[in-house]
Every structure is written in structure tokens, then in C-alpha cells.
Structure 1
Amino acid sequence: MAELRTEEEQIEAIKNWWKENGRSLLLAIAVAVAAVLGWQGWQKRMEVQATNASITYQELVDAVLALRSAPDVDAQRATAEHLAGTLKGDYSDSGYAVLASLLMAKVNVDNGAFDEALDDLAWVQQNSEQEELKQLALQRSARIRLAQGDAEAARDLLKGGDAGYFTAAYEELLGDVLVALGEIDEARKAYDNALAAATPQAQAVLQMKRDDLAQGDES
């Protein structure tokens, strides 16, 4: 365009360029605007989802706390189960659903509903994006299996996972399971591992467990 000699030629060149490229330019602008508005709309929806999930989780916490003194425990438990189901069904990606499942597992354990608690913990292991929460759910599942008298299943769960973020708790629980199975030497090793990783406050109880073991050949 710099080589055109007159203003009329420049205007004519612009008109011709617009005829050839104007529609494509407008389409590109429209697509860009739609993308921006779509992104903003998505962000807004995510904010609303997160807020609603947070509110629902707080309602669940309140319902669980109310269970301790509720005159109609069954109704209050049904409310808690409904709220937890809502979080898992409508807000499964929020993170609150995982916390809700952990909370309901505790509620079910307190009420002796061990199978329901195991289902809650299995949901955490399948859906949580945080490895530490998966490990926590696995250890709690193993503890429930031990409480049910199925030490073999508890050991299988623990052997299928790893200590991860909870080394002391993992090794202590493994020691408890091995004691139940009569594998005293292996239990002693597990308690030693737990003692090495435990805080000073937790070491006293662990030492008592280890000292209570029947004497055997130490390796």
C-alpha cells in the first residue's frame, strides 16, 4: 500500500481488502469474544458450585454434630446421609464430597454400621485426587476390618498400599494386625518402624505395645 500514488487508490485498496477479508475478520472477532464470555461464564459457574458445595458441607457438619444430642437420631442421620449424597452426586469434583465421605464413615463406625463405613472409604479411594486422603481411607478401612475380626483382610489392605504420609500410624496399625494374626516377630518390627517415625507424644503408647509382646527371637 505504501507504493500507491493517490489517496483514492489507497481507499479503493482498503475496500477491496475488506471485501476479501472482512467477513473472516468479523468471524474471528466473534469467536474470540465468545471464548472470553464462555470462560468468564465457566468461572462464574465454578464459583457458584464451590460456594454451594461449601454451604452443603457445613450443613452436613452441623447435622453430624447434632446427632450427639438429637431427640430423633434416625431423622438427623437421614439428613446427614442426604447431604452427603448431594455432595457426592452434585459436587463430586469439589473436594467437599471426599471430606463428606470421610465424615460419614466416622458416623457409620460410631453407629456400628461397618459395611456402610467401608463403602464410604472405598468412595474416597476411588474419587479423591489427594494421595494422602486415599492413604488415610485405606488405613481406616484396614482398622475397620480388624475391628470386624478379619485380620487377614486388614493385612491385605495394608500390604496393598503404603505408609505414605502416615508412616507411624501405618506401621502401628500393621503391628496391631500382625499381633492379631499371631505373627509376633513381624509385629515387633512394625512397632519398631512406628517408634522411629512417631512423635515423642505417641512413642509412649507404642513402646507399651511393643513391650507387651510375647518374647520371641528378635532378628
Structure 2
Amino acid sequence: MAELRTEEEQIEAIKNWWKENGRSLLLAIAVAVAAVFGWQGWQKRQDAQATNASITYQELVDSALALRSAPDAGAQRATAEHLSETLKNDYSSSGYAVLGALLMAKVNVDASDLDKALSELVWAEENAQEPEMKQLAQLRIARIKLAQGDAAAARDLLKSANATYFTAAYEELLGDAFVALGDVAQARKAYDSALSVATPQAKAVLQMKRDDLAQGDES
């Protein structure tokens, strides 16, 4: 009988505990299940977004390649611009949007529309998450500025940039800007800096630029 009473007491204790805590436990379980399914849903949406962004970017690449063989094709250009805008508007955080803007900048440079190219590069620089993409956009902005005849703006941008990537290209373009500004001493210094970190393939052109400065001094 004592054992029976003990079992009844245990059952009664469980019942009382369930009355006090059962609802909270069920709620906690429901929240945990919802969180799991919510995370899985978010993951699926992210995967779908990445896939769609990749497909859109590839379509943009195909369109840009088609433009290289027919640069005056108005319909093809409109398609490329539409795809680029889709990446910016719908997939701006994917990384593909920045790549698309960089690509459209090249398309516009090929079409001699430097203002549009500059606009694309500014967008890429402002929205890039990866530092190397940001610095690549800055480098190309400076190149456009120099091509537009604004060597001072190119110089200032390059000098203020923290070029941890593409260092040789930054220094070479800085040297070009100083040459355009007539500052031979600073141009020589920039070319020397570029030569110190450039690849063997790039050193030949850099050395020619450096040697041209020396010949200019002699004349």
C-alpha cells in the first residue's frame, strides 16, 4: 500500500507540475520549431536569391560579350542596362550587383561614354562589401578621371586610397597622373614604387615609363 501511495503521489505531482508548467513548455517547443522552420525558410530564400542573381549576372555577361562584336546594337545595350539595373534593385547585397556595375562601366568605356562609366563605378565603390572590389572600383574611377583630363582629381583619389590590393596598378596610375600634371619627380617616385611590387610581366611597361622620364630630364 505504501508503494501504491508513493506512485499516486508521484502521478499527482506530475499532474500538478504539468498544470503549472505545461503551457510554458508547449510554447517553448512551438517557438523552437518555428525558429527551425523559419531558419530553413530563410536559407532557402537566400539560396534562391543567390541562384537568381548568378543567372542574371551571367545573362549580363552574355549581353556584354554580344555588344563587343556589335557595339552599336541599341536593343542589346538596352538589355544589358536592364539586367544591370535588375541586379542593383533586386540583388544589391549579393555581390553580383557590384560585378555587374563594373562590367557595365567597361561597356560604357568601350562606347566612349565616360560619364556613364563613372556613374557605374561610383555605385560599385559605394556598394562593394569586399575591400578588393571597393579598391578596384576606386582605381577605375581614377583612371576615368585621368582620361577626362582631371589629373588632379585622379591624383587626390589615388593618394587618399588605402591600396592594400592592386598596389602596383595604383602606383603606376598615380605616376601617370603626376606626368599629366608635369610633376616629374613625384611621377618617378610613384613608378619606382610600382616597380618594387609589380609582376614581371608588368615591369616592362613600367620601366619604359620610368625611362621616358629620364629622357625627358635630359632634353
Question: Which ranges of structure 1 fall in alignment gaps of 5 or more residues?
Answer: none
Query: Which among 193, 202, 215 is matched to residue 217 of structure 2?
Result: 215
TM-score (structure 2 length as normaliser): 0.94
Task: Give me the whole-angstrom Cα distance separating, in 1, the residues matched to 2:51 and 2:65.
Answer: 21
Task: Give me the whole-angstrom Cα distance separating, in 2, the residues matched to 1:115 and 1:201.
Answer: 31
Task: Give me the whole-angstrom Cα distance separating, in 2, the residues matched to 1:51 and 1:149.
Answer: 41
Label 1:18 to 1:180 Cα distance change in 2 as closer, same or farther (>3 A). Answer: same
- 1:159 corresponds to which residue? 159
Distance apart, 1:64 and its partner CA: 0.5
Which digits, 9 at most, give the CA deviation of each residue in 1:173-214, with x for residues without a partner?
000000000000110011111111111111111111011112
Question: Which ranges of structure 2 fall in alignment gaps of 5 or more residues?
Answer: none
Task: Give me the whole-angstrom Cα distance separating, in 2, the residues matched to 1:72 and 1:172.
Answer: 32
Note if 1:73 corresponds to 2:82.
no
The answer to whether the Cα contact below 8 Å between 1:4 and 1:10 also exists between their aligned partners in 2 is: no
Note if 1:171 corresponds to 2:138.
no
After superposing on structure 2, the runs of 4+ consecutive aligned residues of structure 1 that deviate more than 2 Å are 68-72
The answer to whether the Cα contact below 8 Å between 2:128 and 2:134 also exists between their aligned partners in 1 is: yes
The answer to whether the Cα contact below 8 Å between 1:57 and 1:96 also exists between their aligned partners in 2 is: yes
Distance apart, 1:163 and its partner CA: 2.4
- 1:37 corresponds to which residue? 37
Task: Give me the whole-angstrom Cα distance separating, in 2, the residues matched to 1:180 and 1:108.
Answer: 24
- 1:83 corresponds to which residue? 83
RMSD (Å) for aligned C-alpha atoms: 1.6
Distance apart, 1:124 and its partner CA: 1.2
- 1:56 corresponds to which residue? 56
Equivalent residue pairs, number: 214
- Structure having the higher helix fraction is 2
Task: Give me the whole-angstrom Cα distance separating, in 1, the residues matched to 2:126 and 2:104.
Answer: 16
Label 1:192 to 1:11 Cα distance change in 2 as closer, same or farther (>3 A). Answer: same
Which digits, 9 at most, give the CA deviation of each residue in 1:126-175, with x for residues without a partner?
11111111111111111111111111111121122132211111111000
1:11-30 mapped onto 2 (5 Å cutoff): 11-30=11-30
Task: Give me the whole-angstrom Cα distance separating, in 1, the residues matched to 2:62 and 2:112.
Answer: 21
Give the secondary structure class of the aligned counterpart of 2:15. Answer: helix
Note if 1:105 corresponds to 2:105.
yes
Give the secondary structure class of the aligned counterpart of 1:169. Answer: helix
Task: Give me the whole-angstrom Cα distance separating, in 2, the residues matched to 1:204 and 1:71.
Answer: 32
Task: Give me the whole-angstrom Cα distance separating, in 2, the residues matched to 1:144 and 1:203.
Answer: 23
